[in-house]
Amino acid sequence: MYLSVVRFENRYSLLTLLFLVAAILTGCQKKLELDPRGKAGVEIRFVPEMMGAPVELGQEYTLPSGERFTPQVFKFYVGSIGLSQSQNPGEDPDQPGEPNHPGSGPVTGEPYHLIDISRPAEQVIRTQIQEGEYLYLEFLLGVDSARNVSGVQSGALDPLKGMFWTWNSGYIFAKLEGTSPQSTQPGNKVEYHIGGFRHPYNAAKTIRLPLSYLQPLRVSAGQTITMEIRVSLENWFRGAYDLRIADNAVCMTPGELAWSISQNFGDLFNITNLTIEE
């Protein structure tokens, strides 16, 4: 069909070609559903640190407990990112551990992101929110229970990412691996695979970080909030649950231990730098 039109008249061939290009370009252009009016950009950059310095994989650190630890793998899921206007922590009473967003909720892009410390380019999340005044940044560290039981997911949640337990369906929400002389495991291995969506050991954790201590943060349409979130890896081992490598160097299943470790995750994150750009 194209050919016959092109042959239709030689002197029009250039015009025809132009039309063809125009037709194809417009025909297959995805419609951008974002209405730019009223929307502000959000850019979140995770900065993994250990004892106050950027984490170097393969380097040995001394933890606050005095135990030594060499991290090799650190990955975690971040989902349902939103800014919240409410003073009340958002947690769905019917589903403990599930976030409940009174604020703006996630707007664009993939609902889940896999942050992998060995891939710095993927430590940045960009999304959009409705303009307005906000008090908190909220996100789910983990994967909501519905997505754990509704078949095979794609994108960041594709089981081939190695963050899925195939024999006990469910996502590993956060994974920390390495070695430690305090580990009694073969090869001094340390492996924490934290997940589990079943009650009462739902290890998905809503993280809620204040944007400003003084007054609500005003974000106008067209602006972009850029945040750096420090991930203090040493806090994986301390806080609500005192995790000693000598006692528990391995956690590979959902359950009480995984849940207990997840109780430390609230203190992993801090907003260290927040700017609003026009």
Partner 1 sequence: MKSFWYILSLCMFIVLGQWGLGCNKKDDTNGDLQPINFPVPEGWPAPVYDFSANPLTKEGVALGKKLFFDGRLSRDGNFPCVSCHQPFAAFATYEHDLSHGIDDQFTTRNAPALFNLAWHSNFHLDGGITHLDLQPLAPITASNEMGETIENVLQKLNADPEYQRDFARVFGTPQITTANMTKALSQYMLMLISANSKYDRVMKGKASFDVNEEAGYAIFKEKKCNTCHVEPLFTNLEYEYTGLPLNPTFNDFGRMNITGRKEDSLKFKVPSLRNVALTFPYMHDGRFWNLEDVYDHYNQTIPLSPVERSLLTEFLKTLTDEKLMNDPELTE
Q: Which residues bind partner 1 (CB under 8 A)?
A: 1, 5, 8-9, 12, 16, 19, 22-24, 26-28, 30, 148-154, 158-160, 164, 166-170, 198, 201, 254-256
Q: How far is the CB of 204 from partner 1 (least distance, A)?
A: 15
DSSP structure string for 22-63:
HHHHHHTPPPP----TTEEEEEEEEEEEETTEE--TT--EE-
CB of 98 to partner 1, least distance (A): 17
Q: Closest CB to partner 1 among 140 and 257? A: 257
Nearer to partner 1, 122 or 133 (CB): 122
Our CB check for partner 1 shows the closer of 103 and 254 to be: 254
Beta strand pairing call for 224-232 and 39-50: parallel
Q: Which is nearer to partner 1, 164 or 269 (CB)?
A: 164
CB 89 within 8 A of CB 97: no
Residue-wise DSSP of 113-172: EEEETT-GGGGEEEEEEESEEESEEEEEES--HHHHHSS---GGG-GGGS-EETTTTEEE
Query: Measured from the CB atom, is 1 or 214 closer to partner 1?
Result: 1
Is-contact 44 104, C-beta < 8 A?
no
CB nearer partner 1, residue 56 or residue 158: 158
**Among all chains, which residue has been given the structure tokens 């994967």?**
143
**Residue closer to partner 1, measured from CB, 145 or 235:** 145
Give the tokens for residue 26.
Answer: 């417009």
Q: Taking the complex as a whole, how short is the minimal distance between the CB of residue 217 and partner 1, in angstroms? A: 38
Q: Which residue in 187, 186, 189 sits closest to 178, CA to CA?
A: 189
- Least distance from C-beta 255 to partner 1, angstroms? 4
Give me the least distance between CB of 162 and partner 1, in Å please: 8
Instruction: Identify the burial level of 45 via C-beta atoms within 10 angstroms of its C-beta, where 0-12 means exposed, 13-18 middle and 19 or more buried.
Output: middle
Cβ neighbors of 124 (< 8 A, separation 6 or more) are: 43, 44, 45, 46
What Rg, from alpha-carbon coordinates, does the chain have?
23
Quote the least distance from Cβ 48 to partner 1, whole Å. 25
Angstrom CA distances, 173 to 115, 176, 187, 220, stand at 11, 10, 25, 33
Between the two ends of the chain, the Cα-to-Cα distance in Å is 49
Cβ of residue 197: shortest distance to partner 1, in angstroms? 9
CB of 49 to partner 1, least distance (A): 30
75-180-243 Cα angle (round to 5): 70
Closest to partner 1 by CB, 87 vs 166, is 166
